[in-house]
């Protein structure tokens, strides 16, 4: 039996190999090192694309055993016999049929010698690989240890711990915090004063400073729920969604355009997703619905479907096609499934197959534009667009034909033009205009000829002529050269068109000509390069090549204004062209407003499971990965998705109350924005390499409360903000500082050293009284006179606004979990010198005069209330007055200085 | 004149002479050979077989297909095409250089020609990212960001990493992004087609206030900040944040000068020619002189070296680049900067030895993108001159000897700067990232 024989051979060979290995234990380490440094890298680089899991020719080269066993052509190696090894014959190109690697060039001799030496020496392979798993089944099993990892445990509802020293009113949240502080013997900082608190809460919830009136009202409210009143007011403000929606847009890598080569390609309706997010936060749309809408709004039933369709922007507005698995899993689950694209996740229980299971969901879906206008309007617009394109095409074709004919006619006059140019070029000769008139030639063309004949040329065909000019020949000598040139040029012209005709046939006619791929993969003919240069110089339209412009051939006239063909056209031709252009103008004027639409997503016509791309290589396909949820978040083998692409099923799995990650991830994001640090410090990574929670029970308590509240984000704000922990001051307690300088255990509030980019710009506009409070709509470009809230300003994908970048606005090309805050001199220059700040300082100065009257001290007090939320000290008033009195036109300068001071952009 | 009055109030006096910040000079992992980098990026793809890697076999086999099985290139590939340029052995080393790099050829004894570079992807975008940021996709910090993160800056009045381009190369600012590294490590982008230094660096001068007025404003600001600090109590980070104002103030004075190439005498400026790239090279020299850690000069907007349809255009480009590159090398030497400035000259990939078989373009005498083999030049900063490292096959298609991946090049650049590429890490989203990802091999053979 064949199988038996093969098995026998294998055993024999193995035995032989073991025998070959055993006698020389001493040299083994050396041999292994030789293998690791010379052989394994060589195999990986040159062979593994085809000879591992995909087993081209039935051969795997990733273990000694499979090499010895070989593939359809027989054993690849015979240990101890390099010359007799198929591998050596193949890579040495000595085998008549097998020449490896199949692409590129042969391995270097040095590499082949290395391989041969290794085989000759017994083909030593490290022990752990001696018996590799050859089985094709890669059923993935999560080990109990992996499953026991903290973040995969179900969310519990811990009882808030008992606290010994309950000195002030404490919320459940505080009990978890205080328990840890008591355990470590860390004393808390005192509570923040009311001014600090309202400034903190206002920036935190709406991203703007509190007005002096709001501060006064809070100060005057002595009731125990005074702060609650403030929080409720802020949560009800439409400004709230503009602040918190923006944080979500960080995660959604939102931008107003598509990445372009130089500038963004437009995504004219991207803002509808931004506005939908803002509205969702303002409406406190339950988080589970919020998630579902962004992944599968198109699959929901009405009226939800229509209401939330714009939420699909989360998937649709992607900078590149293949980031969705990464963005979705990091954003919603805090898992880095993207890391499993090329290999099983190195740290977390996520097999490559899981990546392709999810990738399959998105591969079975597609970008879709959902018009927000009646069908009729869409049709009218599309028809009108088509008519314009058609008309432009007609004009283009007509002009091209005229251009060609003109060139044909002119080519026949080449010798005349050259001789006329000869006359012009004579020392003291007549001007081109005069010669043209006399010879009945076109003056412009003649001038071009003169210029051309005087220039350096990139071909040799007019060398005779140039030599004649150089040695001062006669007109009689020139004439035959001009005639010869004319004949030659006409020949080249003819040759070029013959080649084009042949290419046209090769491409299979007009269809192939228009198809880029067909053109790329057809062996086309080209005119000889030097002849092409000659042709170009006479007949080519203008073009630019690698930054070197060519302005157009001597005989070329076309649609361009500065070399328009119009003056060569007369009679019916002229009338015809004018008619065509008039029609185009009419069509363009009548083009209706573009209809609005949503950048969305849909199930594509081709629902399919993907095959694993082995090592991320799309040409090396492995086993099929059915569309389904992740193993680690399923109790047993996950069930296949059966409804269309499976996006809605995926969304439902993500927001399923039993999913241990979704709620934990979201409450932590909210916590992070309030405290400047998350309970989990890596908010989008809850895997092995992520940080462990500083307060695991608190995290669970919050997650459980979140689900219990019906996934209400606003309820979570209340839960957090009404705690005494939130209301602490940033004060210094020496002993506590010594024990926990980083404030990991939250014994005080963290100082916000600098507002983020949006809050900073908005605050400047707000205190200057300039802020435009309009809501939503198309993005407005950053400009000195743009007074909209920053969330409504254009977010470029290819280029981000430089001021925004300067203040650490996140890169919209990847999902962003945290704002970094840097402080540097370039930012100070912005406050010192930018037009925007200067302009707003002037507006602020005017506001102070308007609201505080003529009294300088009163203006200073008003300024401190507006900008810093507190009255100035007498000393500060004095410093201000000194400056005012000693300065010309002092107020704008004083206002600018107040804006540039650190206190303006700091909170707490 | 600004300065005197403000100096007496001095933040420095209040906070100590120096404050700590992200760009403070840092101690490298080991003794460096180079202190700074100038990277001249010939964006679009420099053709190796037409410049520094001559292949006589191309002339012999012109018009024939590349031997071996049909290879996979971006587009269908045509037959072999010899270089239209002539090569000559130059310098004492006798390294061959094409006549389109006449002057650079004369300096070849100072240059290490790496002929065995290879990359992973045949499209500009991914290869640009790989060469600049060590990864094919956007979202990773750039080489210059890693370098300034690792070493800080020796000049606290200037950005540590400056990028010069008249507009944008393909992919734009993501090529000098600091990604998840903090913002100060981002490349400061300067349009070098501007000559007015005040347009070069935004907000560097106040257009309205006089120097005296601004000095008085700064004195007031100082008082306000001091009063705030006193209210805050113990907040050391805030103190250093406030001190950045002092740096900003000094930058106002220093920056316009450094970027102003008109400060160079005419005979120096002339040697760089009047191309944007020439201006960029001269600016790079001045920035290096002022201890900017890394300067990257893009040859031009978009991708000028992308000669798909006519390789003769490479002649025009090279002759234009030849002038400032050679001037820069000469001036680095003349100003004593050559020894500790590493000059890198290269592209995202090379060009095929075969003609591009593409109906996309109109001429059909060009070369396509070539990823398996291309050339990068290194000079100065502890690199051996007059040396060719690695080799491509007989036709210049694939690197076959001592292959150099962008990770290897990056590892070597970092090594020359005294940084171990495996130890230069940054923890982000729960993972330690590095420029060379999981690869990178230092090319010790080229280090002097």
The DSSP line for A648-691 is HHHHHHHH-TT-TTHHHHHHHHHHHHHHSS-SSSSTT--STTSP
* Among candidate residues A564, A598, A622, the one where a domain is terminated: A564
List, as ranges, residues 45-74 from B with C-beta within 8 Å of A: 68-69, 71-72
pLDDT digits over A747-767, tens only?
999 988 889 999 999 999 999
> Which residue in the set B44, B167, B203 is minimally distant from A830, CB to CB?
B203
Token pair for B39: 């990277």
- Residues of chain A contacting B228 with CB distance shorter than 8 Å: 901-903, 906
pLDDT at residue A319 tops 90 = no
CB contact under 8 A, A813 and B174: yes
At A11 the pLDDT is 37
Q: What is the mean pLDDT of residues A284-307?
A: 97
Contact by Cβ (8 Å): A334, A683:
yes
Any chain B CB within 8 A of the CB of A318? Answer: no
pLDDT digits over A226-249, tens only?
999 999 999 999 999 999 999 999
pLDDT digits over B419-430, tens only?
999 999 998 767
C-alpha–C-alpha distance, residues A644 and A646, integer Å: 5
> Which residue in the set B72, B234, B363 is minimally distant from A532, CB to CB?
B363
* Nearest CA distance, B315 vs chain A (angstrom): 12
At A137 the pLDDT is 40
Distance in angstroms between the alpha carbons of the first and the last residue of chain A: 83
Task: Print the SS3 string covering A382-433.
Answer: HHHHHHHHHHHHHHHHHHHHHHHHHHHHHHCCHHHHHHHHHHHHCCCCCCHH
Long-range CB pairs of A730-736, under 8 A, 24+ apart, other chains included? A730/A189, A730/A192, A730/A196, A730/A908, A730/B235, A731/A189, A731/A190, A731/B233, A732/A189, A732/B233, A732/B234, A732/B235, A733/A187, A733/A188, A733/A189, A735/A186, A735/A187, A736/A186, A736/A187, A736/A188, A736/A189
DSSP string, A93-157: T-SSS--SSSSS-PPPHHHHHHHHHHHHTT----GGGSS----S-------HHHHTSGGGSPPP-
List, as ranges, residues 379-408 from B with C-beta within 8 Å of A: 393, 397-398, 400-401
Q: What is the mean pLDDT of residues A521-539?
A: 89
Q: Which residue has the higher pLDDT, A510 or B47?
A: B47
pLDDT at residue A13 tops 50 = no
> Which residue in the set A104, A805, A822 is minimally distant from B372, CB to CB?
A104
- Residues of chain A contacting B372 with CB distance shorter than 8 Å: 104
For A227, A814, A901, A906, the CA distances from A868, given in Å and listed in that order, are 19, 35, 10, 9
Q: Which of B350, B344, B277 is nearest to B44 (CA)?
A: B350
- Residue A817 placed within a domain: no
At B356 the pLDDT is 81
- Residues of chain A contacting B245 with CB distance shorter than 8 Å: 825, 828
pLDDT at residue A25 tops 70 = no
pLDDT at residue A3 tops 50 = no
B124-133 vs B406-416: helix axis angle to the nearest 10? 30
What pLDDT band is residue B16 in, cutting at 50, 70 and 90?
Answer: very low
With a pLDDT cut of 70, the percent of chain A lying above it is 94
At A412 the pLDDT is 95
- Most B-contacting residue of A260, A508, A823 (CB-CB within 10 A), to test interface: A823
CB contact under 8 A, A879 and B139: no
pLDDT at residue A106 tops 50 = yes
How many domains would you assign to chain A? 3
How many domains would you assign to chain B? 1
> Which residue in the set A520, A825, A886 is minimally distant from B251, CB to CB?
A825
Q: State the residue for tokens 């291309």.
A: B374
Q: Helix (H, G, I), strand (E, B), or coil: what is residue B345?
A: strand
- Hey, CA dihedral for A614, B174, B145, B191, is it positive or negative? positive
Q: Which of B180, B241, B138 is nearest to A819 (CA)?
A: B180
> Which residue in the set A103, A811, A876 is minimally distant from B69, CB to CB?
A103
> Which residue in the set B44, B301, B365 is minimally distant from A526, CB to CB?
B365
pLDDT at residue B13 tops 70 = no
> Which residue in the set A105, A829, A833 is minimally distant from B68, CB to CB?
A105
- Most A-contacting residue of B20, B80, B135, B183 (CB-CB within 10 A), to test interface: B183
C-alpha–C-alpha distance, residues A78 and B438, integer Å: 33
At A16 the pLDDT is 38
| Residue A873, domain extent | 833-905
At A615 the pLDDT is 76
CB contact under 8 A, A99 and B393: no
At A797 the pLDDT is 84
What pLDDT band is residue B346 in, cutting at 50, 70 and 90?
Answer: very high
Contact by Cβ (8 Å): A615, A355:
no
pLDDT digits over A774-790, tens only?
999 999 999 999 999 99
- Mean pLDDT score of chain A, rounded to an integer? 89
At A580 the pLDDT is 97
Cα angle A803, A806, A811 (rounded to 5 degrees) comes to 95
Any chain B CB within 8 A of the CB of A827? Answer: yes
| Residue B431, domain extent | 4-446
CB contact under 8 A, A825 and B360: no
pLDDT digits over A556-591, tens only?
999 999 999 999 999 999 999 999 999 999 999 999
Q: Which of A323, A153, A142 is nearest to A686 (CA)?
A: A153
CB contact under 8 A, A902 and B241: yes
Q: Point out the least confidently predicted range of A97-111, A156-170, A597-611, A616-630.
A: A97-111
Any chain B CB within 8 A of the CB of A833? Answer: yes
Among A130-144, B54-68, B106-120, B162-176, the range of highest mean pLDDT? B106-120
At A53 the pLDDT is 65
Contact by Cβ (8 Å): B160, B294:
yes
Q: What share of chain A is helix, strand, coil (3-state, %, to 5)?
A: 55, 5, 40
Q: What is the mean pLDDT of residues B257-268?
A: 91
Q: What is the mean pLDDT of residues A458-477?
A: 94
pLDDT at residue B388 tops 90 = yes
pLDDT digits over A349-402, tens only?
999 999 999 999 999 999 999 999 999 999 999 999 999 999 999 999 999 999
pLDDT at residue A132 tops 60 = no
For A14, A87, A703, A871, B424, the CA distances from A21, given in Å and listed in that order, are 10, 20, 59, 86, 41
At B359 the pLDDT is 53
User: In chain B, count of helices (H) and strands (E)?
Assistant: 13, 17
Contact by Cβ (8 Å): A640, A370:
no
Q: What is the mean pLDDT of residues A458-484?
A: 94
pLDDT digits over B310-342, tens only?
899 999 999 999 999 999 999 999 999 999 999
At B73 the pLDDT is 60
Q: What is the mean pLDDT of residues A592-605?
A: 94
What pLDDT band is residue A10 in, cutting at 50, 70 and 90?
Answer: very low
CB contact under 8 A, B316 and A548: yes
Q: What is the mean pLDDT of residues B222-227?
A: 91
CB contact under 8 A, B174 and A523: no
- Other C-beta atoms within 10 Å of A575: how many? 11
At A138 the pLDDT is 52
Please state whether the predicted TM-score (pTM) of the whole model is above 0.80.
no
Find, in chain A, the residue whose alpha carbon is nearest to that of B140. A814
With a pLDDT cut of 70, the percent of chain B lying above it is 89
At A427 the pLDDT is 87
Q: Which residue has the higher pLDDT, A303 or B259?
A: A303
Any chain B CB within 8 A of the CB of A826? Answer: yes
pLDDT at residue A689 tops 90 = no
Residues written for chain A: 908
- Residue A677 placed within a domain: no
CB contact under 8 A, B217 and A893: yes
* Among candidate residues A564, A581, A612, the one where a domain is terminated: A564
- Most A-contacting residue of B366, B431, B438 (CB-CB within 10 A), to test interface: B431
At A139 the pLDDT is 58
Any chain A CB within 8 A of the CB of B173? Answer: yes
Burial of A444 (0-12, 13-18, 19+ CB in 10 A): middle
Q: What is the mean pLDDT of residues A698-713?
A: 97
Q: Helix (H, G, I), strand (E, B), or coil: what is residue A549?
A: strand
At A262 the pLDDT is 64
Q: Which residues face A367 on adjacent strands?
A: A601
């Amino acid at each position: 039996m064949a199988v038996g024989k093969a098995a026998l051979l294998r055993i024999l060979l193995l035995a032989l190999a073991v025998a070959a290995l055993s006698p020389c234990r001493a040299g083994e380490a050396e041999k292994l090192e030789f293998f690791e440094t010379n052989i394994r890298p060589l195999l990986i680089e040159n062979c593994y694309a085809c000879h591992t899991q995909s087993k081209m020719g039935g051969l795997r080269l990733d273990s000694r055993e499979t090499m010895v066993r070989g593939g359809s052509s027989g054993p690849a190696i015979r240990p101890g016999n390099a010359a007799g090894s198929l591998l050596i014959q193949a890579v040495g190109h000595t085998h008549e049929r097998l020449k490896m690697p199949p692409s590129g060039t042969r391995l270097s001799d040095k590499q082949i010698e290395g391989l041969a030496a290794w085989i000759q020496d017994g083909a030593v392979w490290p022990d752990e690989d001696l018996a590799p798993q050859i089985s094709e089944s890669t059923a993935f099993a999560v080990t109990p240890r992996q499953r026991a990892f903290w973040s995969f445990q179900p969310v519990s509802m811990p009882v808030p711990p008992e606290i010994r020293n309950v000195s002030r009113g404490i919320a459940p949240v505080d009990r978890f915090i205080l328990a840890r502080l008591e355990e470590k013997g860390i004393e808390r900082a005192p509570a923040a004063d009311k001014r600090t608190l309202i400034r903190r809460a206002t920036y935190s919830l709406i991203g703007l400073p509190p007005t002096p009136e709001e501060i006064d009202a809070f100060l005057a409210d002595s009731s125990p729920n005074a702060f609650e009143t403030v929080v409720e007011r802020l949560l009800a403000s439409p400004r709230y969604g503009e602040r918190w929606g923006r944080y979500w847009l960080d995660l959604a890598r939102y931008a107003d355009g598509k990445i372009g080569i130089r500038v963004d390609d437009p995504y004219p309706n991207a803002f509808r997703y931004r506005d939908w997010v803002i509205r969702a936060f303002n409406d406190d749309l339950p988080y589970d619905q919020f998630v579902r809408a962004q992944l599968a709004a198109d699959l929901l039933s009405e009226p939800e479907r229509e209401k939330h369709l714009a939420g699909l922007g989360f998937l649709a507005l992607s900078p590149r096609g293949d980031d969705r698995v990464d963005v979705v899993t990091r954003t919603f689950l805090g898992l880095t499934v993207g890391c499993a694209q090329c290999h099983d996740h190195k740290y977390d229980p996520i097999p490559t197959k899981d990546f392709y299971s999810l990738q399959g969901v998105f591969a079975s879906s597609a970008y879709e534009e959902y018009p927000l206008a009646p069908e009729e309007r869409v049709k009218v617009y599309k028809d009108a667009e088509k008519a314009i394109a058609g008309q432009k095409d007609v004009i283009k074709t007509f002009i091209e034909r005229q251009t060609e004919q003109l060139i044909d006619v002119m080519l026949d006059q080449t010798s005349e033009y050259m001789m006329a140019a000869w006359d012009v070029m004579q020392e003291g000769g007549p001007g081109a205009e005069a010669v043209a008139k006399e010879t009945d030639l076109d003056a412009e063309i003649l001038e071009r000829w003169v210029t051309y004949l005087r220039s350096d040329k990139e071909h040799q065909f007019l060398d005779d002529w140039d030599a004649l000019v150089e040695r001062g020949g006669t007109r009689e000598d020139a004439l035959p050269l001009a005639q010869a040139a004319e004949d030659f040029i006409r020949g080249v012209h003819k040759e070029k068109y013959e080649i084009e005709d042949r290419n046209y046939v090769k491409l299979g006619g007009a269809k192939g000509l228009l198809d880029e791929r067909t053109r790329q993969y057809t062996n086309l003919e080209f005119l000889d390069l030097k002849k092409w240069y000659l042709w170009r110089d006479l007949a080519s339209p203008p073009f630019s090549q690698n930054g070197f412009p060519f302005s157009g051939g001597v005989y070329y006239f076309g649609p361009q204004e500065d070399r328009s063909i119009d003056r060569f056209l007369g009679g019916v031709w002229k009338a015809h062209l004018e008619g065509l252009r008039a029609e185009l103008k009419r069509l363009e004027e009548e083009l209706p407003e573009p209809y609005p639409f949503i950048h969305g997503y849909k199930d594509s016509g081709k629902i399919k499971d993907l095959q694993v791309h082995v090592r991320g290589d799309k040409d090396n396909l492995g086993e099929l990965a059915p569309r389904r949820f992740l193993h680690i978040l399923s109790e047993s083998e996950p069930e296949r998705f059966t409804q269309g692409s499976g996006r809605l099923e995926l969304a439902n799995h993500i927001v399923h109350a039993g999913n241990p990650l979704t709620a934990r991830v979201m409450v932590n994001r909210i916590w992070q924005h309030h405290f400047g640090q998350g309970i989990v410090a890596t908010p989008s990574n809850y895997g092995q390499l992520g940080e462990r929670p500083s307060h695991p029970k608190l995290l669970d308590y919050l997650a459980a409360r979140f689900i219990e509240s019906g996934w209400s984000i606003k309820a979570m704000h209340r839960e957090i903000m009404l705690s005494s922990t939130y209301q602490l001051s940033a004060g210094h307690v020496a002993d506590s500082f010594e024990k926990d300088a980083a404030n990991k255990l939250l014994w005080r509030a963290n100082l916000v050293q600098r507002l983020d980019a949006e809050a900073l710009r908005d605050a400047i506009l707000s205190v200057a009284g300039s802020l435009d409070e309009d809501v939503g709509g198309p993005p407005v470009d950053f400009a000195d006179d743009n007074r909209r809230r920053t969330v409504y300003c254009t977010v470029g994908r290819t280029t981000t606004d430089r001021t925004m970048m300067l203040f650490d606005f996140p890169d919209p090309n990847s999902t962003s979990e945290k704002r970094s805050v840097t402080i540097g001199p370039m930012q100070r220059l912005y406050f010192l010198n930018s037009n925007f700040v200067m302009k707003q300082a002037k507006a602020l100065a005017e506001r102070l005069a308007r609201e505080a009257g003529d009294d300088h001290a009163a203006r200073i007090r008003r300024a401190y209330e507006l900008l810093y939320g507190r009255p100035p000290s007498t000393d500060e008033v004095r410093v201000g007055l000194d400056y005012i009195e000693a300065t010309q036109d002092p107020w704008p300068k004083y206002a600018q200085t107040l804006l540039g001071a650190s206190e303006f952009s700091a909170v707490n | 004149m600004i300065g005197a009055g403000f100096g007496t109030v001095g933040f420095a006096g209040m906070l100590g002479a120096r404050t700590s910040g992200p760009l403070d000079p840092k101690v490298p992992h080991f003794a460096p050979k180079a202190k700074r980098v100038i990277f001249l990026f010939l964006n679009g793809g420099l053709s190796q077989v037409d410049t520094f890697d001559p292949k006589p076999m191309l002339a012999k086999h012109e018009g024939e297909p590349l031997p071996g099985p049909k290879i996979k290139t971006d587009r269908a590939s045509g037959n072999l095409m010899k270089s239209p340029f002539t090569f000559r052995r130059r310098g004492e080393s006798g390294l061959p250089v094409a006549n389109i790099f006449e002057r650079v050829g004369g300096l070849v004894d100072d240059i290490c020609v790496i002929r065995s570079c290879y990359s992973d992807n045949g499209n500009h975008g991914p290869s640009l990212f790989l060469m600049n940021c060590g990864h094919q996709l956007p979202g990773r910090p750039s080489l210059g960001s890693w370098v300034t993160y690792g070493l800080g800056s020796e000049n606290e009045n200037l950005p540590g990493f400056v990028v010069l381009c008249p507009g944008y190369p393909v992919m734009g600012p993501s090529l000098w992004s600091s990604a998840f590294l903090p913002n100060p490590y981002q490349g400061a982008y300067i349009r070098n087609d501007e000559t007015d230094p005040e347009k070069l660096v935004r907000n560097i001068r106040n257009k309205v206030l006089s120097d005296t007025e601004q000095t008085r404003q700064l004195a007031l600001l100082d008082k306000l900040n001091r009063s705030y600090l006193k209210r805050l109590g113990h907040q050391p980070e805030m103190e250093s944040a406030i001190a950045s104002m002092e740096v900003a103030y000094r930058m106002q004075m220093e920056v316009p000068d450094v970027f102003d190439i008109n400060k160079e005498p005419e005979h120096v400026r002339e040697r760089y020619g009047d191309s944007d790239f020439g201006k960029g090279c001269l600016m790079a020299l001045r920035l290096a002189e002022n201890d900017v850690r890394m300067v990257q000069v893009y040859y031009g907007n978009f991708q000028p070296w992308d000669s798909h349809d006519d390789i003769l255009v490479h002649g025009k480009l090279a002759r234009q680049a030849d002038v400032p590159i050679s001037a820069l090398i000469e001036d680095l030497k003349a100003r004593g900067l050559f020894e500790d400035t590493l000059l890198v000259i290269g592209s995202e990939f090379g060009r095929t030895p075969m003609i591009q078989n593409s109906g996309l373009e109109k001429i059909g005498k060009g070369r396509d993108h070539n990823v398996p083999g291309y050339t990068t030049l290194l000079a100065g900063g502890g690199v051996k001159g007059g040396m060719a490292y690695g080799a491509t096959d007989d036709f210049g298609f694939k690197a076959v000897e001592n292959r150099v991946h962008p990770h290897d090049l990056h590892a070597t650049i970092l090594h020359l700067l005294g940084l171990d590429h495996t130890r230069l890490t940054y923890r982000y989203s729960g993972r330690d990232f590095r420029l060379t990802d999981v690869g990178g091999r230092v090319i010790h053979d080229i280090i002097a």
